Structure 1
Amino acid sequence: MYLVIFDCDGTLVDSQETILHGLEEGFAAVGLPMPDRRTGLSIVGLSLNEAFSKLVGPENHHLVGAMSDAYRASKISRRAAGLDHDPLYPGTREALDRLAAMDEVLVGVATGKARRGVDHMVEVHDLHGRFVTVQTADTSPSKPHPDMILRALSETGADKSRTVMIGDTSYDMEMARSAGVFAIGVTWGYHDAGQLAAAGAHAVIPHFDELDGALAALPGFGNLFDTNLDRETV
């Protein structure tokens, strides 16, 4: 059995505008100036408290709780109003459908989002039934700690040698390496190819169309695609 784990923000969904809005609410709540766009988005992938801690520095650590609360309240309010429908990146649905259709593949999520954020994404984009394991900031330390992947392995019974983490940040790559699984970086999110490679990515791709090839090139994964190819041509 193979386990393919995806990050959410910057990998499956383009959430930069809604994340920036939430950050603005957090900074406004404590009277601090919002950082520039690039700096703000540099923390995507981290859990909320960790993200604000990195942005405000140790001298303002006492404000992090209030900032996170304001961010969460904004998200809940906007979703209730029918807002924050982050679009899927091109090719996302097709990639998930291909993998979900493979009997030998389990698909999961490991994200700095709260579980309600993942549930919202699944509901909005009708991704029901795609993910057999969902790991979030509610139950795990922030990336790059390997806990999310280790929990996913425990839940599914998958072997590390047949598990891969797909994400757009160095935090995803570092988490995968720490957990002892493969890592594939994607460049349409928040960190560039150089950062992903430096963080330990086994492969870096610019579009979901190249995912199957990157997976097939991983040691032990080629048999998966050979097997499914044989089934399709019988």
Structure 2
Amino acid sequence: MPKRTIDAFVFDLDGTLLHTLPDLIAVTNESLRHFGMPEHDDAAIQSFAANGAVALMLQAVPNNCSPELAQEALAYWKATALDHGALLSRPFPGVVETLGRLHEAGKQLGVLSNKFQAGVDDQLAHNLPDLFDVALGDGSVPRKPDPTGMLETARRLGVAPERMAYVGDSVGDMQAAVRAGALAVGVTWGYHPVEQIKAAGADMLLDTPEQLLTLI
């Protein structure tokens, strides 16, 4: 693949920039306990986590749960996440240093996540403050794999989509990047199988965040 000129680097949040799974597990099972519903093990919650809080909770609640109760559980999940949903989350090793190097190189930085917008803002404020030029989540733009959010991120950053790299750990991340014309960069340290990420159209795979610096 010929090397592209990349002016902006945009990232998924959960499983890409931040190891948020411990908080997702804690908040999800607390929400289920609150409503007297069965809890899930870590692997199950990880498998639910690709498409944001709505998809996570709709999969976590029992199959016979009414739509109304599922929405109550989702609202409780969001409130609980904002109360203590960033306590256990941390940047993956090498992320902070890599973001600093990209910033020093004059690159625009963004976040595009399927997490609800207030949750995106809360996680960034706790773990990666003052690093990003734009950060969009569910409620501000449609969820990935819809490419609308990718295109809106490019517009806000003032770059053409084809001069933007999108870094993520899921099939939906890669599909959204490909559909928008961005460089699709998959990571191997996230929450989803690498073979699925490759099959979804990843242009390149990273084993460490520092490998992203080859694009500057």
Instruction: Indicate the residue corresponding to 1:158 in structure 2.
Output: 159
Q: Which has the higher contact order (CA 8 A, sep 6+)?
A: 2
Instruction: Give the deviation of 1:56 after TM superposition.
Output: 4.4
CA distance in 2, matches of 1:132, 1:28: 38
Distance of 1:40 and 1:174 partners within structure 2: 22
Indicate whether 1:99 and 2:105 are aligned: no
1:84 and 1:107, CA in 2 relative to 1: closer, same or farther beyond 3 A?
A: same
Cα pair distance change 1:204/1:25, threshold 3 Å: same
Paired letter, 1:23: T
Higher strand share: 2
**Number of equivalenced pairs:** 210
Structure 1 residues 143 and 30: CA distance shift in structure 2, 3 A = farther
What is the CA distance between 1:147 and its match in structure 2? 2.0
Which of 66, 73, 77 matches 2:72?
66
Question: Which of 108, 111, 114 is the aligned partner of 1:109?
Answer: 111
Is the contact made by 2:49 and 2:55 (CA closer than 8 Å) also made in structure 1?
no
Share of identical aligned residues, percent? 26
CA gap 1:159/1:66 in 2 versus in 1, 3 angstroms: same
CA drift at 1:192: 2.2
Structure 2 CA distance for aligned equivalents of residues 121 and 155 of structure 1? 21
Structure with the greater alpha carbon radius of gyration: 1
Residues 40, 97 of structure 1: alpha-carbon distance in 2 compared, 3 angstrom cutoff: same
CA–CA separation in structure 2 for the residues paired with 1:177 and 1:126? 27
8 Å CA contact retained: 1:135, 1:151: no
State TM-score, norm by structure 2. Answer: 0.87
Whether the aligned pair in 1 keeps the contact of 2:120 and 2:136 (CA below 8 Å) is no
Please name the residue that 1:229 is paired with: none
Deviation at 1:178, TM superposition (A): 2.1
Superposed displacement of residue 143, structure 1: 1.9
Q: For each residue in 1:27-81, what CA deviation from the matched residue of structure 2 results, as whole angstroms up to 9, or x when unmatched?
A: 22433322332121112231211222244487546133112112112122226xx
**Could you list the per-position Cα deviations for residues 112-144 of structure 1 after superposition, in whole angstroms to 9, with x for gaps in the alignment?**
22333333333323531x211111112122221
Q: Which residue of 2 aligns with 1:88?
A: 91
Shift of 1:148: 1.5
Instruction: Give the AA of the match of 2:117.
Output: R
| 2:166–2:185 CA contact under 8 A, matched in 1 | yes
* Structure 2: runs of 5 or more not aligned: 1-5
Q: Secondary structure of 1:43's match? A: helix
Q: Does 1:190 align with 2:195?
A: no
Corresponding letter in the other structure for 1:148 = G
2: CA distance, partners of 1:116 / 1:84:
15
Question: Where in structure 1 are there 5+ consecutive unaligned residues?
Answer: 217-224, 226-234
Is 1:201 the counterpart of 2:206? The answer is no
Query: Where does residue 34 of structure 1 map in the other structure?
Result: 39
**Residue 53 of structure 1: aligned partner:** 58
Please state whether the residue corresponding to 2:123 is helix, strand or coil. helix
1:196 Cα shift? 0.8
